[in-house]
Amino acid sequence: MKRNLTLGLSAFLFLGTSACGLREDAATLYKQETPLQVEMKNEPKISANQETEIQAVLTQNGQAVMDADFMHVEIQKQDGTVAVPMEEARNEGHGIYSFSTRFKEDGLYYIRIHAGNEGSLISPRKQIIVGELTEAELELLKQGPKNKGEASGHHH
C-alpha cells in the first residue's frame, strides 16, 4: 500500500512539473519595448542674442512619430544655470518637433529633450556652442562630455 502511494505521488509530481515547460510564444506574452530615437538638428553657427531655431526628429521603430505623447525641451548652460526652463516643442509634422530660443550670452550649453510615446521614454542631451567659448569652457570640451543625468525615465 505504501509503495502504491509513493508511486502515485511520484507520478502526480512528475506530471505536474512537466506541464511547467517553456511556451514557444513566451516572449510575446510580455510587453514589447518600442524605443524612441531622436536626432537633434541646429544651425551650425549659433550667436548670442539672435533667434535660433532647433529641430528634433523623433522616430519609433524606424517610423516618424507624428504625434508624440509629449516632447519637452530644456536648455542649461554648462555651469548648471538654466538658460531656458522646460517648455513644449512645436509639432511641425512628419516627426519633426521644433523650438526657438534666444541665447543671452556666449558659452557652452546643453539641450535636453524629454520625449515619450506609447510608454517609451527618452531624455537625450546634446552639447552646443553659442558664440565664443572661454578658456575654461574649451578645457571642458577637451575633457569630453560627462554623463551627468543621462538616465531616462518618467519626469511627470
Q: Please measure the distance between the N-terminal and C-terminal CA atoms of the chain and give it in whole angstroms.
A: 66
Tens of pLDDT, residues 43-95: 778 999 999 999 999 999 999 999 999 999 999 998 888 888 999 999 999 99
Beta bridge partners of 130: 46, 107
In this prediction, residue 151 carries a pLDDT of 41
In this prediction, residue 155 carries a pLDDT of 44
Per-residue pLDDT band at 116 (split at 50, 70, 90)? very high
In the three-class reduction of DSSP (H, G, I as helix; E, B as strand; rest coil), residue 61 is classed as: coil
Q: Is residue 66 a contact partner of residue 94, using CB atoms and an 8 Å limit?
A: yes
Average of per-residue pLDDT across 118-144: 90
Sign of torsion over alpha carbons 36, 73, 77, 138:
positive
Cα distances from 16 to residues 2, 9, 23, 65, in angstroms, run 21, 10, 15, 47
- Of 132, 140, 119, 20, nearest to 61 by C-alpha is 119
Tens of pLDDT, residues 13-56: 555 555 556 667 766 666 666 789 999 988 778 999 999 999 99
Average of per-residue pLDDT across 109-116: 94
